[in-house]
Amino acid sequence: MSSLRNIPSIDELLLQDEIRSLDEDFNHEFITNMLRRAVGIVREELRSSEAVLEKEAINHQIMAVFNREIHKSARGTLQTVINATGVVLHTNLGRAVLSNRAIEYMVEMAGHYNNLEMDLLTGERGSRYMHVEQLLKEITGAEAALVVNNNAAAVMLGLNTLAAGKEVIVSRGQLVEIGGAFRIPEVMKLSNAILNEVGTTNKTYSSDYEQAINENTGLLFAAHTSNYKIEGFTSEVTLQELVELGQKYSLPVMQDLGSGILYPMAQWGLKEEPTVQECVKSGADVITFSGDKLLGGPQAGIIIGKKPLIETMKKNQLTRALRVDKLTIAALEGTLLEYLSGNPVIKIPVLRMLCQPPQELLDQSRQLYQKFHDQLDNHANVETIEILEVEDMVGGGAYPTYRIPGWGVAIKFQGITLDQIAGQLRLKQPALLTRRQDDKMLISVRTLQAGEDEQIIRLIQSVLQN
C-alpha cells in the first residue's frame, strides 16, 4: 500500500491542538499555506521512498517540516552576518556598518513623528534636505547639496538636469560599470543625455575634449575609476584641467567620485583616492558620491556643487522619484555629525576598521587564538590553529589593487571538508562568513565587532557537534 494514502488532509491538520495554538501568533491563511507547503514537501519525499509509513508517522513528519517552514518564513530573510572576511565594505553584506550616533538617530526618528519637512521656527513647510545640506556644506566647502537614494541616481539626476538632449563628453577610459551591470553609458542614455566619448582606453588628453566641443555640448563629465586601475602606458586629464577647459567654453563640469572620502587617509596608506574637499577646491561644478562606502553612512547618492545647479536639480521631477526617506536622512545626519566631532576615525566603524593599527590587530588575533585553543583545540575535527598575517581589502569598489596588511586566525579541519563547514556556518543564526586560505578557514579580525569572537566559537562548536 502506498504511503501517499496516509497523508492527512489540510482540514485534519488544522484541527490539531499544536496548529490551533498558533492562531495567536500567525494569521489563519499563513498557517494554511505553510501546511500545504509542508504536505507538498513530505509527499515528494514519500514518492521517492520505498518505505510504507503509517498515518501517525507521516503526520509527525509533516509537523516537523511545518514547524521548520513556518518559523523560517516568519522571521524574514534579512539577518545578521558576522563578517570575518576582512573586506570592510563588503557589498554583499550591506557595505558600511553605521556609527552609534547614526543608529540612535534612525531609531529615534523611526519611532516618533519628526520635522522631516517642517521648519519649526516658522511653522511652515520646510525641505527634507535642510537636515543634511548645511552639514555637507560645512564639511566639504561646497555651495549647496542634495541627497538622493544612491550614487547611480545622483549621476542620472545630474546628467538629466544639466545635459538632457545635449552631448556629454567623457573619456573612453572612464566608461565604467559601477556594479550590478549598471554602466555609465546606460545611465547616460536613461538620463536622455547624448554620449560623446573621446580618447582611448589608456590615453586621453585635454585636446581630445576640446576638439569634441560643439554647439550641442552640454557637459564635461569625469568618472573616477575607483573600482579598477589601468597601469603602464597611460595618460588622463586631471579634474583641474577639465575645470579650466569648462571655464574656457562656459561648460559645467561634473565629477562622479564613486566612493567619496571626507577624511584624508593617506597617513594610513590609503593615498590614491581624491577627497571630496579636494574636488570642490578644484572648481568642479557638480560632484556626486556614495553615502555607504568610504563615508561610512547609509546608502545614499550625495550631490554637492555650485548652488544654481543644485537648486535646478532640486526642481527636476526626477528628484521626487529619487528622494530619500526619513531613516536615510537620520542615519546620514548622524554620520556627518561624527565628522564634525573631530575624530571620526574612532566613531565611524568603516574608518576605524580601515585605520586600525597592525599591532592592535595582532593583539586581537592572539586573544582570539587563545580562545580557540582553549575551547576547540582538543576537538577531533580540529587539526591545527594558528595566527597568520593576512591581506585585507577595502571593498565596495574602492582601492581595487590595494591590500591592507592585517592579522587573523586560521583553523585547519580534519574529517570534514572546508566547504561543508562554511556551508553550515552560513545557515546559522547569526550567519558566519569567513575566508579560505589554502586548506584552512581564515578569520580576519579587522572586520569583527565587539563580542563576535565568542559567537564565532559557539557557531563553530555547534557545527562540529553535528
Locate 179 and state its grid cell: 556594479
Task: Answer whether residue 148 shows pLDDT above 80.
Answer: yes
Of residues 178 and 451, the one with the higher pLDDT is: 451
Locate 128 and state its grid cell: 527634507
Determine the average pLDDT of the residues in 70-94.
Answer: 91
Kindly report which listed range (257-266, 312-321, 352-361) carries the lowest average pLDDT score: 257-266
Q: What residues contact residue 105 under an 8 Å CB cut-off, 6+ apart?
A: 330, 331, 333, 334
Task: Answer whether residue 72 shows pLDDT above 90.
Answer: no
Locate 206 and state its grid cell: 585635454
Task: Name residue 240's amino acid.
Answer: Q
pLDDT (0 to 100) of residue 265: 81
Q: What residues contact residue 30 under an 8 Å CB cut-off, 6+ apart?
A: 70, 73, 74
Q: What residues contact residue 85 under an 8 Å CB cut-off, 6+ apart?
A: 93, 433, 434, 435, 444, 447
Locate 223 and state its grid cell: 568618472
Determine the average pLDDT of the residues in 89-99.
Answer: 94
Task: Answer whether residue 232 shows pLDDT above 60.
Answer: no
Interatomic CA distance for residues 364 and 320, integer angstroms? 47
H or E element: which one contains 113? none
Region of 284 (left: φ > 0; alpha: ψ -120 to 50; beta: rest) is beta
Average pLDDT of the chain, as a whole number? 90
pLDDT (0 to 100) of residue 1: 47
Q: How confident is the model at residue 414 (pLDDT cuts 50, 70, 90)?
A: very high
Task: Answer whether residue 459 shows pLDDT above 80.
Answer: yes
Highest mean pLDDT pick, 150-154, 267-271, 401-405: 150-154
pTM (predicted TM-score): 0.88
Cis peptide before 430 (omega within 30 of 0): yes
Task: Answer whether residue 26 shows pLDDT above 80.
Answer: yes
pLDDT (0 to 100) of residue 377: 78
Summarised one tens digit per residue, pLDDT across range 377-407 is 788 899 999 999 999 999 887 777 788 999 9
Q: What percent of the chain has pLDDT over 70?
A: 95
Cβ 219 vs Cβ 163: under 8 Å: yes
Highest mean pLDDT pick, 21-30, 104-113, 259-268: 104-113
Q: How confident is the model at residue 230 (pLDDT cuts 50, 70, 90)?
A: low
